[in-house]
């Protein structure tokens, strides 16, 4: 699955922010965060050796974790824990740096498609 398909599949799961039914700033922010989460999950999933089907499911799980409790640290903690559970001792600081990198990439991708 492509990132755009995954983003569309999980777009409806974004938590309500109290903004009007549709607000371009909120919509754009949520799209960037969803894309960032997917990019990070794909990165981690590849490191863990997940299959294509499993990596797609994993990307949705990572995004849903962020919807349950908003904030970067939820995603960082999930990715770090999952990587460590698979025998990949990647520190949370490295995962956070990667998440920031994926955020910048997601911003660029989102702005070129808007």
The predicted structure's pLDDT at residue 77: 96
Q: What is the pTM of this model?
A: 0.76
The predicted structure's pLDDT at residue 44: 98
Query: Which letter does DSSP use for residue 11 in this model?
Result: G
Q: What average pLDDT does the chain have?
A: 83
Q: What are phi and psi of 3, to 5 degrees?
A: -60, -40
Burial class (CB in 10 A: 0-12, 13-18, 19+), 91: exposed
Number of H helices, E strands in the chain: 5, 0
The predicted structure's pLDDT at residue 107: 92
The predicted structure's pLDDT at residue 50: 96
pLDDT in tens, 68-85: 887 889 999 999 999 999
Residues of the chain with pLDDT under 50: 12-19, 21
């Amino acid at each position: 699955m492509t990132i755009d398909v995954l983003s569309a599949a999980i777009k409806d799961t974004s938590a309500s922010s109290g903004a009007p039914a549709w607000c371009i700033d909120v919509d754009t922010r949520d799209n960037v965060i969803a894309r960032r989460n997917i990019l990070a999950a794909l990165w981690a999933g590849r490191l863990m050796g997940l299959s294509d089907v499993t990596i797609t499911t994993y990307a949705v799980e990572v995004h849903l974790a962020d919807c349950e409790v908003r904030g970067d640290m939820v995603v960082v903690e999930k990715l770090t824990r999952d990587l460590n559970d698979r025998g990949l001792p990647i520190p949370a600081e490295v995962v956070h740096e990667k998440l920031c990198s994926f955020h910048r990439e997601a911003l660029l991708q989102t702005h070129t498609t808007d």
